[in-house]
Every structure is written in C-alpha cells, then in structure tokens.
C-alpha cells in the first residue's frame, strides 16, 4: 500500500521500513524461526518489485525511500517529480 498517491500526476510514494523490505544497509535476519522469516521477507521484496513494475507499466512514477533516509530530502524529490509531471515532463 502506497504512503502517498498523487493521482493527477500519476506519482506514487512508498516509505519502506528497513526490516520489512530488507534495506541493504540495515536489514537483519531473525535467528528464531529463520526459514519462515527468510521466506516472508523475500516475498515482501518480490512483491515490492512486482508492484513497481505494474505501476510503471501503467504510466506511474514510483518513488521509494527507506525509513532512515532524510525525509526533507525525500520530500524535495517528491516535489521535483510532481513539478516535472505537471510541466509535461517524462511520462
């Protein structure tokens, strides 16, 4: 589920949690029930990539940020993308 959706501009924003979406910097692997967690977390990442692909094929711009990223910088990127789309930028 998207964190923000800008329908008119066809821009969707996700803020992914490091644990649940396997951040390359902060991902951890639980020791208890490790096989189940491995399957669960791989499935989350696969679903993320599938979602990205489907949205892009439908003409959406997908912006993903990690929870640890500077949200001011993330917001600035969202604003830039919205301005580009409103100005007739890449579709």
Is the separation of the CB atoms in 63 and 3 below 8 Å? no
CA dist 46 and 65 (Å) reads 16
Residue 79, exposed/middle/buried by CB under 10 A (0-12, 13-18, 19+)?
exposed
Mean pLDDT confidence for 36-59: 97
What percent of the chain is predicted at pLDDT more than 70?
A: 97
- Read off the pLDDT band of 29 (50, 70, 90): confident
Q: Phi/psi of residue 43, each to 5°?
A: -65, -40
Q: Which two tokens stand for residue 1?
A: 């589920």
Mean pLDDT confidence for 39-62: 97
Is the separation of the CB atoms in 29 and 37 below 8 Å? yes
The model's pTM: 0.90
């Amino acid at each position: 589920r998207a964190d923000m959706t800008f329908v008119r501009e066809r821009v969707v924003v996700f803020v992914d949690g490091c644990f649940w979406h396997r951040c390359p910097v902060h991902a951890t692997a639980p020791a208890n029930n490790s096989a189940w967690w491995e399957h669960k977390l791989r499935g989350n990442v696969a679903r993320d990539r599938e979602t990205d692909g489907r949205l892009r094929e439908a003409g959406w711009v997908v912006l993903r940020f990690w929870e640890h990223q500077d949200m001011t910088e993330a917001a600035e990127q969202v604003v830039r993308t919205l301005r580009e789309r409103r100005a007739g930028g890449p579709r």
